[in-house]
Amino acid sequence: MNIRTLQADDLQRLLTFELDNRDWFEQHVEARAPAFYTPDGVAAHIADYLSEHAAGRVHPCVLTSDDGAVIVGRANLRRIDRAAGSGEVGYRIAHDHARQGLGSLALAHLLELARSRYGLRMLNAWISPHNLGSRRIVEKYGFTRDVLAAPHVAQVNGVAHASHLYQCHL
Superfamily of chain region 2-169? Gcn5-related N-acetyltransferase (GNAT) (3.40.630.30)
60-83 burial: b if 16+ Cβ within 10 Å, else e: bbbbbeeeeebbbbbbbbbbbeee
Closest CA to 93 of 76, 67, 78, 75: 75
Domain ranges, ordered by start, for the chain: 2-169
User: pLDDT in tens for each of the 170 residues of the chain?
Assistant: 899 999 999 999 999 999 999 988 877 777 788 999 999 999 999 999 999 999 999 999 999 999 989 999 999 999 999 999 999 999 999 999 888 999 999 999 999 999 999 999 999 999 888 788 888 999 999 999 987 777 766 656 666 667 889 999 99
